[in-house]
Amino acid sequence: MASIVWAAATAHTGAMMRAPAGDTGDLERAQRVFAGFRTLGASLKAARPDVLIVIATDHFLSFDYTVLPIFAVGTGERFDGWGEFGVPKRDYQGRAAFGAAVHAGMVGAGFDLVSARDLKLDHSFSCPLQLLLDGWDLPILPIYVNCTIEPLPTLSRCLDFGAALGEVVRNQRVLERVAIVGTGGLSHWVGMPSTGTINREFDQRFLDLFTAGRCEDIARWDSDEVIHSAGNGAAEIRNWIMAAAAARSKGARVLAYEPVAAWNTGIGVTELLL
């Protein structure tokens, strides 16, 4: 059987690929975030995984109102980056047989997961990947979650998806050592009048529960209230609890949390405890 050898959850924003300018305090906060990602990247490399599952979303590039799955998995051998929003373009290798095994396993588990062989990756995937894989490469398996266009999957459904994903990964026979990262949030508003607001209180409340391994408590939160209090970008906390459920994590350690004003986002970087 395979094993999940490493797991993490991080925030992302396209702006984080550029260090803030002009505000010394903001620059110092950003440097602490970058240091957290360097620590996390070194930990990932030391775990020697065969593949990295990345749970993220999309911002009207690969999916929109024309075709909008709730969940999708990239099942190809290559995943190109969009390179949008000033994010350096970088493409990634996949493992098609692994993707096919995950797709079949999740459908068998009762999740109607869409297969997207040529899934292109926007900054929700690319930003954390470029920081985690700085100077080295690792095959990936992208899993898309609709965190953008209502109706969104419920938090509890996402938690169940993560638990099922972990079982499927452990039972497949294609690759033995699997890593997983969920990425999104924390508090931020995208394209809204409140853009630039960061709700530190929400971020801390979320991190307190997440680091204590209390994702079931988070899954009981009202999704509309999350978005109202912490922004439409906070809907991406789904990806964090999915990774935690898949990894059967006992909690997490925070490598960085910084409300970076220039990035309009409360940035969290955590490593899950296995």
Q: 199-238, pLDDT tens digit by residue?
A: 999 999 999 999 999 999 999 999 999 999 999 999 999 9
The answer to whether residue 18 scores a pLDDT higher than 80 is yes
pTM of the prediction?
A: 0.97
Distances (CA, A) of 204 to 48, 83, 143, 180, 266: 31, 31, 26, 23, 10
Residue 145 tokens, joined: 């979650």
Residue 67 tokens, joined: 């075709």
- The per-residue pLDDT for 1 is 85
How many structural domains does the chain have?
A: 1
What 3-state DSSP class applies to 157?
helix
Q: What is the DSSP string of 20-43?
A: --S-HHHHHHHHHHHHHHHHHHHH
Q: What is the CATH number of the domain that holds 242?
A: 3.40.830.10
What 3-state DSSP class applies to 200?
helix
Contact predicate 161/240, CB 8 Å: no
- 98 Cβ partners below 8 Å, 6+ apart? 51, 141, 172, 174, 175
CA distance 80 to 118: 8
Task: Indicate the average pLDDT of the chain.
Answer: 96
CA distance 217 to 151: 21
Q: Tens of pLDDT along 51-84?
A: 999 999 999 899 999 999 999 999 999 999 998 8
Domain range for 102 is 3-273
* Residues present in the chain in total: 274
CA distance 172 to 3: 10
pLDDT band at 21, cuts 50/70/90? confident
